[in-house]
Structure 1
């Protein structure tokens, strides 16, 4: 039996011109994988805590694996992926994170260095952006220096009254923050909502369903800014290959260049999308525009929260989303089945989100 046109779409992606002018397949971008926590006893065997390991190393990351030109970004990443894994946390729990700085020691300055002067590109630490937890060691201490080839055991105690929401983690060592974050070193944190937060039950159910929510990470790479920093700090890591067509900047969405995103999205149901945007220099406005439409039709979008804080009197109907340099926006969407371009204000498409019909999803599931 011949597969339906809708089913064929799931296997054969749209073709677009590549950087060399040839017809190339656009990449597929899945949501960042979840970070793995293990439940263990603490050292005094008095309570169950969560333990996990995170490493920072150099990766040659393929931004468009399906392209014959094989464009790559050589940069620093967490656990060998860009962006890093999504860390889930719950209020009232204790987390131990063993962090390994696996970068090489390439100290680039001699003599005394100023606190905010560019130096030591491979020295680092981790900051949990937006979380209300202790800023003192061994917690979220932003002045900690983790040298190359060394490790540090963080302890995070999430308060019992911490609000659920979307946050992110990134390096915060003063001297190398720009080269590392500007190169894409970051990951998402989700503090899970609880019923006592007053979050509507419909929203809570979206979080609990296997396909109830989607994480979309948009990273803006400012090449003029990065080239300047690379020169000043004498960095020998950050570099591009096959991306010469981008003179000034480009965006990656879930680690890919102008990708298709469809595995976790279905049409004609309300579902949550957690957007995270990171840029060293520019704010951003985006909208969802159905292919073939001039403006976002057949897709209703309502704003839930900004920067991990639920808005009052929400959800509020919106047509566009505004992001500052490092911000998060949570929305719920109800879209008819089809393809929707994630467009910047200049009409550039940086990703295409595909909402399948429930029947095609069921068909795909039963045939797999």
Structure 2
């Protein structure tokens, strides 16, 4: 899945990016739709953000060439060419220039820059983004303008995460149901808004899902992040083997809901690997799929396949709806044989919680009845920072209730408010931002940190647009606004300070003399993911030379950084380097002075192909967990940027291996004496090379 590229802005102290809201085409062999999209893609690019960083996203409205359409205010379908942006699930301010969905309206041909100050204690998790312009949300978000947001948690969260959870490969699945025709669907909404952008090549009811193939290694745990962008109905996903090849079912456990880990992991899911998804829901799963044959002899062969199936449900878990096109396979899991041993069961783990997600108790006083069908009654109701309120929510099975800024915690769950076909899915104490359940569900809400607006609405976009099912509550108290830098004084249950990175060889950092030092790249520090290194383990792991020659474990600390071995040069090297990854090296600088830096890398020469790009930077003593320090940091030693770099060795695909060569920094820098930490950061690098040494 393509990622939104960030540009480091050292002057402003932010990471900056651009989202272009415009027309895009999507479809199947049976239906082609011209609809709305971000950066020309459905779904939009993946957005990665990190706790304790500041971001600016400029949304450019590219619809100036289309007629404006119907204009209006209040309830209804109108302003089809106007837009704005909502980061769904994030704990950020609901006022401009942050996540303001009420007063920010971007006209065609204009732009608006949103600023997001991600708190240093923000929970890591799966979230998403979409337009939230009243009068046109259904037309825009339901039409395809949406994408996934992944928040990387704090260094304290990383230190609290067991290796078995923190280093598994991850896969992203965006389930985007686009329904051109039907009651309150795209074509009808477009007609009501006098929109002239939407075009559909069929006049029959059809649902379109942007399916994909999830490729996994047999017998190893994988994290699957799922976002459900639905229009009207709650749904159930099931993961089932494909017969006769499929073999035994995958092991499936639940990790997180709506961007927040459940209280105790791993949690089993209902029978037949069934997963509940409401409109806008996100679930994070861990799956381990067996092979039907021995896998060590022929690593990389397909040994099993599973279907991810999608069906709508009525309230109370009734049978699926009669429309056959809404019970379908939307994605496949293809299982490849592996040269690695079978992964054991995941350990039991109780994640620590930031203060804004710690357990709540039922407040004294009478709960407030909240009928999701009449959520507009909450408009203007005051809330107070730090004060817990209880809502008894009804009608959410037809009108999923979503809260901005602050999550809801589920109160007592009984047979009357549990999905009968998914027993055990709703659990008291779970944190969610969108509620869909039968009966009446007590939820607790405690506004934290941010004063100002908190929008609450039905997440059936047509209902929020046209039927007035939305409200803006007012949070008061002594807290932060959109331009304040969040200061964390209460770390919730994440009270243990993160450990410090340690040299690869215990008590023996690399010595930098007056002649410099040449450090083996794979001997980066120990300490774990997010402490000593950052590695994005995305998709199916490549079959490396190490797997073939069975050299054994290179490092004994469970580090997930991909390391391989060159038989030609007799050296280990770091491979599959990705944008924003980093590694720390503890050094003992014996002589203060002026130095330069070089990376010894190898890659086949790409004469007739796009450049690999070789962009990296070196930092001195970054703060804990910040291997690529925030823009404006004074820790920078040197930055090397070569967007035209095309490799070192013979032209690919040459039969001989590319030779390592030094990529040297032209700028020099001063180093003080003593024991220090150097951080090697690959921010902006496209990878595709082998890294042998860091030389200073």
For normalisation by structure 2, the TM-score amounts to 0.42
- Equivalent residue of 1:180, what SS? helix
**Distance (Å, rounded) in 1 between the aligned partners of 2:260 and 2:331:** 26
**Hey, which of these two has a bigger chunk of helix by percent?**
1
- Equivalent residue of 1:33, what SS? coil
Query: Is residue 2:178 matched to residue 1:213?
Result: no
2:246·2:305 contact (CA, 8 Å) conserved in 1? no
2:97·2:114 contact (CA, 8 Å) conserved in 1? yes
**Distance (Å, rounded) in 1 between the aligned partners of 2:544 and 2:245:** 31
**Structure 1 residue aligned with 2:90:** 131
**Structure 2 residue aligned with 1:332:** 286
- Equivalent residue of 2:543, what SS? helix
Across the aligned residues of Structure 1 and Structure 2, the Cα RMSD in angstroms comes to 2.6
Task: Describe the superposition over 1:246-291 as per-residue Cα deviations: whole angstroms up to 9, x where unpaired.
Answer: x4342413xx5xx5x14x4222110100000011201110111110
Larger mean CA deviation between 354-363 and 313-322 belongs to: 354-363
**Distance (Å, rounded) in 2 between the aligned partners of 1:157 and 1:297:** 46
**Structure 1 residue aligned with 2:309:** 343
Task: Describe the superposition over 1:197-252 as per-residue Cα deviations: whole angstroms up to 9, x where unpaired.
Answer: 2333322112xxxxx100000011233122221221122122223x56xx434241
Gap change, CA 1:137 and 1:332, over 3 Å in 2: same
Query: Is residue 2:231 matched to residue 1:277?
Result: no
- Equivalent residue of 2:149, what SS? strand
**Structure 2 residue aligned with 1:162:** 122
1:251·1:350 contact (CA, 8 Å) conserved in 2? no
* Structure 2 unmatched runs, 5+: 291-302, 312-319, 321-326, 340-540, 549-651, 654-696
Task: Describe the superposition over 1:59-99 as per-residue Cα deviations: whole angstroms up to 9, x where unpaired.
Answer: 123x34xx5x7x42211100111100000000010001121
- Equivalent residue of 1:229, what SS? helix
**Structure 2 residue aligned with 1:362:** 543
Query: Is residue 2:262 matched to residue 1:311?
Result: yes
Shift in Å, 1:338: 1.2
**Structure 1 residue aligned with 2:18:** 53
- 4+ residue segments displaced more than 6 Å: 293-296, 363-368
Larger mean CA deviation between 308-317 and 88-97 belongs to: 308-317
Task: Describe the superposition over 1:324-357 as per-residue Cα deviations: whole angstroms up to 9, x where unpaired.
Answer: 0111000010012411111124652122221211
Q: RCO (CA 8 Å, sep 6+): is it higher in 1 or 2?
A: 1
**Distance (Å, rounded) in 1 between the aligned partners of 2:263 and 2:247:** 25
**Structure 2 residue aligned with 1:321:** 275
Give matches, 1:146-185, under 5 Å: 146-185=106-145
Gap change, CA 1:269 and 1:195, over 3 Å in 2: farther
Shift in Å, 1:151: 0.7
* Structure 1 unmatched runs, 5+: 1-31, 207-211
**Structure 1 residue aligned with 2:517:** none
Instruction: Determine which of 76, 90, 99 is the counterpart of 1:117.
Output: 76
For normalisation by structure 1, the TM-score amounts to 0.78
- Equivalent residue of 1:231, what SS? helix
